[in-house]
Amino acid sequence: MNKKRIFIVAGVLVILSAIGSGGYLFWNVHEENLILRSELSGMNESLKLTKENFFRSRIENADLSDRNKNLSQTVREQLDKNTALETQVMDISGVVQNISGTVGTLQKLSQTDKELLKKYSKVYFLSENYIPSRLVDIKSEFLLDKSAPKQIHAGVDVFLTDMLQEASSTGISLKIVSAYRSFYDQISVKTGYKMIYGSGANQFSADQGYSEHQLGTTVDITTSKLKTLTTQFDRDIAYKWLTENAYRFGFVLSYPKGNSYYQYEPWHWRFVGVGLATRLHEEGKYFYDLTQREIDDYLVSIFDR
């Protein structure tokens, strides 16, 4: 063989081996490529699944948050309803309270003698049948004449006793000359005065039926010194004490100087309740200065302390 041929054969061999190893490499790469591709498609598949899962859970979340919203809306609505109900309940109990208050007032009024705060004159007068619901004896220590018991309306007695005791504790000795007088007592009082004073008796003794004494809420007062009913009483410190303090016990002077109803009687004090007496005292007015309508408002509380 010559050198040239050997060179050619060697060249061909080199080329062939290069092709062979190249083919082998190519084959290997191709194989790997196939594996990678299949792995990639597997990964793609799982990515797709993950994405799907992701979207599904997003939808579910959205659903849940929608439901959440609905639920909190419902809760809010329910709370609003509760509040509305509570308000209604409060309104109703307020109405019930008002009604029971009104019923209480009406009941109290129905049990309170309407005559107790009436103005008596030639126009309005008491029937001969009128007798106070309950009369009690005034404590004898407060009577001018201890041997002749005097009676007073049971509801007024506590106020009268308190007043007389407080006066006594400040050194003022108030004495009761007369208190409750029945219709017939009044006739005999009047007849007695008429026998002495004739028709002039009208000036200082009310006709039967017009006397506040028939109500059992009125007293004629003097002192243990004066011992009689006289206009001189208004110069006594006892009278001054009464004008300053009697209202606190519900008593007022019925017939002041210059009144158009009756003669001046500084000794004649009528119980009208603390509320009305206080108003009259504060306004510098007398019982007969007010209208009957104004006076009527105090009837329900006449015996309140």
Binding residues for Zn ion (CB under 5 A): 220, 268
Report d(CA 153, CA 156) in Å as an integer. Answer: 5
Closer residue to Zn ion in complex, CB, 157/220: 220
Chain centroid to CA 185: how far? 46
Closer residue to Zn ion in complex, CB, 55/124: 124
H or E stretch covering 58: helix 3-110
Instruction: Confirm if 106 and 280 have CB atoms less than 8 A apart.
Output: no
Only one residue has tokens 């002495």, namely 196
Closer residue to Zn ion in complex, CB, 222/300: 222
Closer residue to Zn ion in complex, CB, 145/283: 145
AA identity, residue 142: F
What stretches of 174-247 adopt beta strand conformation (E)? 174-178, 218-223
Terminal Cα distance for the chain, rounded: 156
Kindly state the smallest distance separating residue 213's Cβ from Zn ion, in Å. 6
Task: Kindly state the tokens that stand for 60.
Answer: 């579910």
Instruction: Confirm if 123 and 149 have CB atoms less than 8 A apart.
Output: no
Point out the residue whose Cβ comes nearest to Zn ion.
Answer: 268
Kindly state the smallest distance separating residue 268's Cβ from Zn ion, in Å. 4
Closer residue to Zn ion in complex, CB, 211/249: 211
Kindly state the smallest distance separating residue 222's Cβ from Zn ion, in Å. 11
Closer residue to Zn ion in complex, CB, 270/279: 270
Kindly state the smallest distance separating residue 205's Cβ from Zn ion, in Å. 9
Kindly state the smallest distance separating residue 276's Cβ from Zn ion, in Å. 19
Kindly state the smallest distance separating residue 270's Cβ from Zn ion, in Å. 8
Q: Pairing between strand 151-153 and 135-137?
A: antiparallel
Only one residue has tokens 């009913």, namely 229
